[in-house]
């Protein structure tokens, strides 16, 4: 059992809800460290056994095996900690893309203490699909280029990822409307995460 659990806020939501966008913005603010599980996966050498497994799963719009997912994530966070990019005693960890099912939530609990969850909500699935198609072109994201794969990812989200919220107490979940400009969504996200940061790192509100 690890002796340290990272103080964490989860960015949660369906594909295309803006988790990565909000996470990247927060990661630029001192006192927050953002780690995207998707970015960690995309940095893998696809010729390695793990890389092949992750690539084959993502190309079908499905989840990689749970134990492999947690192992890769933990190796990534350990590397950032060793390099002092992430300072656990100073930074609030912002995670997106993990956990993606209840088993992952159980496994990762050894490593993180979830203080709050921002549930980015969008009832218009077609709008999110269009957003992902635009992202595929802008960011050269192969996993967002095939509409069939995108729709399969939404199916996996509904069946496997959405129930993750039931693993956590409702009192730590805030629902934020993901439709709107990134700045508008950011205002609502900050309203929820800044108090968490102040409370757990002893910072006084300005």
Domain with 137, as residue range(s), is: 6-196
pLDDT at 2: 46
Mean pLDDT, residues 158-169 taken together: 95
User: Residue 173 is encoded by which pair of tokens?
Assistant: 């979940």
Q: Please report whether residue 54 resides in a domain.
A: yes
User: Residue 162 is encoded by which pair of tokens?
Assistant: 């959405």
pLDDT at 1: 43
Q: How far apart are CA 99 and CA 70, in angstroms?
A: 9
Q: How confident is the model at residue 28 (pLDDT cuts 50, 70, 90)?
A: very high
Mean pLDDT, residues 4-19 taken together: 93
pLDDT at 139: 67
**How many domains does the chain divide into?**
1
Q: Please report whether residue 111 resides in a domain.
A: yes
Q: Please report whether residue 108 resides in a domain.
A: yes
Question: What is the enclosing helix (H) or strand (E) of 95?
Answer: strand 92-96
Residue 8, SS3 per DSSP: strand
User: Residue 161 is encoded by which pair of tokens?
Assistant: 């990822």
Q: Does pLDDT of 193 surpass 50?
A: yes
- Global pTM reads 0.86
Q: How far apart are CA 82 and CA 102, in angstroms?
A: 29
Q: Please report whether residue 202 resides in a domain.
A: no
Q: Please report whether residue 201 resides in a domain.
A: no
Q: Please report whether residue 66 resides in a domain.
A: yes
- Segment 116-156, tens digit of pLDDT: 999 999 877 787 787 777 776 666 666 566 788 888 888 99
């Amino acid at each position: 059992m690890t002796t340290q659990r990272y103080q964490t806020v989860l960015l949660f939501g369906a594909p295309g809800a803006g988790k990565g966008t909000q996470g990247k913005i927060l990661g630029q603010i001192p006192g927050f460290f953002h780690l995207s599980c998707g970015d960690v996966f995309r940095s893998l050498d696809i010729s390695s056994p793990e890389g092949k497994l992750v690539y084959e799963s993502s190309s079908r719009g499905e989840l990689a095996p749970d134990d492999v997912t947690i192992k890769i994530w933990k190796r990534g966070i350990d590397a950032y900690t060793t390099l002092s990019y992430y300072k656990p005693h100073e930074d609030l960890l912002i995670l997106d893309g993990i956990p993606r099912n209840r088993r992952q939530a159980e496994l990762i609990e050894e490593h993180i203490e979830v203080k709050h969850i921002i549930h980015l909500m969008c009832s218009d699935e077609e709008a999110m699909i269009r957003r992902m198609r635009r992202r595929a072109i802008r960011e050269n994201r192969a996993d967002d280029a095939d509409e069939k794969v995108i729709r399969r990812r939404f199916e996996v989200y509904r069946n496997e990822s959405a129930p993750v919220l039931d693993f956590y107490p409702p009192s730590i979940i805030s629902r934020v409307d993901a439709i709107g400009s990134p700045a508008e969504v950011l205002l609502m996200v900050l309203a929820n995460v800044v108090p968490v940061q102040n409370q757990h790192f002893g910072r006084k509100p300005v």
